[in-house]
Structure 1
Amino acid sequence: MSNEITYMLNKQLEALIAGETNMIANLSNASALLTEQFSNINWAGFYLWDVSDNELILGPFQGKVACIRIREGEGVCGTALQEQQSLVVDDVHLFPGHIACDAASQSEIVVPMIKNGKKIGVLDMDAPVKNRFTEKDRLMLEEFVEVLLKHLNI
Structure 2
Amino acid sequence: MAEDLIINRNINKEEQYVSLIPQIEALLTGEDDFVANMANVAAALKEQFNWFWVGFYLVKGEELVLGPFQGPVACTRIKKGKGVCGASWLQNEVLIVPDVDQFPGHIACASASRSEIVLPLVKNGAVVGVLDVDSEFLNHFDVTDQINLQKVIDILLK
Q: TM over 0.5: same fold?
A: yes
Q: Is the 8 A contact 2:88 2:118 kept in 1?
A: yes
The answer to whether structure 1 residue 120 and structure 2 residue 131 are counterparts is no
Matched with 2:31 is 20
* CA offset digits 1:30-65 (Å, max 9, x no partner): 0000001114x2100000111xx3110000000000
CA distance in 2: counterparts of 1:68 and 1:136, whole angstroms: 28
Secondary structure of the 2:78 match is strand
Please list every run of 5 or more consecutive structure 1 residues that lacks an aligned counterpart in the other structure: none
User: What letter is aligned with 1:38?
Assistant: F
Please list every run of 5 or more consecutive structure 2 residues that lacks an aligned counterpart in the other structure: 1-12
- Quote the offset at 1:95 in angstroms: 0.1
Secondary structure of the 1:125 match is strand
- What is the total number of aligned residue pairs between the two structures? 146
* TM-score normalised over the length of structure 2: 0.88
The answer to whether structure 1 residue 94 and structure 2 residue 102 are counterparts is yes
RMSD: 1.1
Match of 1:57 among 62, 65, 84: 65
Matched with 1:46 is 56
Secondary structure of the 2:127 match is strand
* TM-score normalised over the length of structure 1: 0.91
* CA offset digits 1:97-146 (Å, max 9, x no partner): 00000000000000000011122100000011101111111111111111
CA distance in 2: counterparts of 1:107 and 1:6, whole angstroms: 19
